[in-house]
Amino acid sequence: EVQLVQSGAEVRKPGESLKMSCKASGYSFPTEWIGWVRQMPGKGLEWMGIIYPGDSDTRYSPSFQGQVTISADKSINTAYLQWSSLKASDSAIYYCARFSGGYGANWGQGTLVTVSS
């Protein structure tokens, strides 16, 4: 069974850094793309970026390029999403998803990030 388990909810102050994780199991992690999706409170889904763990090939949505960093450690089947300096507008739920072909076949449970002074 494919599972994506994300790290727990986070509370940070503006300007602080954050690295969240998404641990995959049940499939060949290095050979399938894994992506990140943002959902701001009461809003729709926004595609952020995607990584191929096998060679770390990474693509970002223009809206998120330079704002976040996506990485992966294939030795522990885990993908990461990180910020170096959070803003209040980064408060949202973040989902990871396994992209099998051209679609998000499996999704993590989501990680809630709250950025507030």
Partner 1 sequence: QSALTQPASVSGSPGQSIIISCTGTSSDVGGYNYVSWYQQHPGKAPKLMIYDVSNRPSGVSNRFSGSKSGNTASLTISGLQTEDEADYYCSSYTSSSTYVFGTGTKVTVL
Contacts with partner 1 by CB under 8 A lie at 35, 37, 44-47, 49-50, 59-63, 95, 97, 99, 101-110
* Shortest Å distance, C-beta 99 to partner 1: 8
* Shortest Å distance, C-beta 97 to partner 1: 8
Residues near 66 by beta carbon (within 8 Å), at least 6 away in sequence = 60
Per-residue tokens: 34: 């894994």
* Shortest Å distance, C-beta 13 to partner 1: 26
* Shortest Å distance, C-beta 35 to partner 1: 7
What are the strands, taking DSSP E only, across 8-110? 10-12, 18-25, 33-39, 45-52, 57-60, 69-73, 78-83, 92-100, 103-107
Is the CB of 101 or the CB of 117 nearer to partner 1? 101
Query: Do the beta carbons of residue 14 and residue 34 sit within 8 Å?
Result: no
Is the CB of 71 or the CB of 99 nearer to partner 1? 99
Instruction: Tell me the backbone φ, ψ of residue 82, rounded to 5 degrees.
Output: -140, 155
Is the CB of 3 or the CB of 17 nearer to partner 1? 3
